[in-house]
Amino acid sequence: MNPRTNVESGNDFRRRFSARERLVGTFIKTQTSHAIEILGDVGFDFVVIDQEHAPFDRGAIDIALLAARASNIASIVRVDEARASSILSALDCGAAGVLVPHVFSADKAREIASWSRYGGGRRGYSGSARAGRYGATPVWTNVARSDARTTVIAMIEDPEALETIDAIAGVEGIDGFFIGRGDLTVSLGAESSSAPEVQDAVRRISAAARSANKPVCVMVGSATEARSFQELGATAFIVSSDQGFLRRAASEALKEFSRTEV
């Protein structure tokens, strides 16, 4: 049976994320719609279009979001930096939400939340983009729908964020957190992501999220690794990327030929 059968559309991502349903997604690093279509067809819950660490401009993001919509898979954009213009363009193009890097203070978290929503916030309004059905949605209907569906995930990946993590977690308008183990490993000067200081940071972030009743997302290498984070409260998992899946499949195919006479 197709694992996407009876699964909610990408527009329902915020509800599922907030309800702590187990969600599995992956990063999109290449400017192609095809990988997103395949992932949607396979049954992944969401994709993260990576503007921060991959060559995505607004045009490429727009096409990627169109592919996600066509494939009935939720689309999150990891914006290039925590700024209003990056968040606005992703949401106007129809993203279900944004993953915002380097949220290192409660003040920065409040700015991000404000830039992401109309009501009580400072998101610039336009009804002419995909998010407003190209002018077909009445203004206040568009405002209400956009605010209800937009998911704002703060990436916690800096040592200074750990010092005020409880205050960050309590910011209204931040829907959840992504634990950036890679950046934490480098910034803490740790030997690896499994080093004690990184594990301690993971526990601190997880505890703050639990106290604030907010979900946690983390990147994992396997379902086995995901179980240890699930015990700490994580419910959304990013596994590899389109490039990672391609590399793994290509490597396995080549190894198979090296082991077999043809």
Q: How far apart are CA 90 and CA 243, in angstroms?
A: 22
What are the CA-CA distances from residue 116 to residues 10, 146, 178, 188, 193 (Å)? 18, 9, 17, 30, 31
- Annotated catalytic residue: which of 53, 227, 248, 255? 53
Going from the C-alpha of 150 to that of each of 13, 69, 175, the distances in angstroms are 9, 15, 9
Q: What sign does the CA torsion over 105, 47, 232, 244 have? A: negative
Whether 53 is catalytic is yes
What's the residue count for the chain? 262
- The stretches of the chain forming alpha helices (DSSP H) are 13-18, 33-42, 58-70, 84-92, 106-116, 139-149, 159-163, 165-169, 181-187, 196-211, 223-230, 242-259
Q: Name the residues annotated as catalytic.
A: 53
